[in-house]
Structure 1
Amino acid sequence: MNTPETPRVGEQVLILVPEYAAGKIGMVVAEEILNDGKISGNWLVEVAAEKLIVSLSVDEFQRLGKGK
């Protein structure tokens, strides 16, 4: 899956939901893979300045561009 809508690892995003992380900047770290090896369709996003990783669908964050 390599479409223009596909986030890239290292890309910065604005988290829209869940409420406890909304409005914070994060970085895409990986596509989520389930225990059975299947791709979930979600992306793992590390919340900047916090020890927190959230699993989000592409509708739950806004892409900002490539990170540092």
Structure 2
Amino acid sequence: MCDNRMKFRRTAPIFQPAMWNVYDSAMAGRERTNNVCEGWNNGYSKLFGHANPSLWTGTNILFIVHI
């Protein structure tokens, strides 16, 4: 008799729970979201005009901003 069921292997997670779990932060009264990162990405996008600028565009804009 042929067993046609799929067999899954247990693999280690790419990101460990300690990295993304917010339980300890919530219990300590700290932030539970990544709003700080989202705010930084939003500012970056506004500075460069889009989310993924080329290396040339990014270099030119950073050079102009620091002059």
- Scaled to the shorter chain, the TM-score interval is under 0.3
Higher helix share: 2
TM-score between the two structures when normalised by the length of structure 2:
0.20
Q: Larger RCO: Structure 1 or Structure 2 (Cα < 8 Å, ≥ 6 residues apart)?
A: 1
Higher strand share: 1
Larger Rg: 2
TM-score between the two structures when normalised by the length of structure 1:
0.20
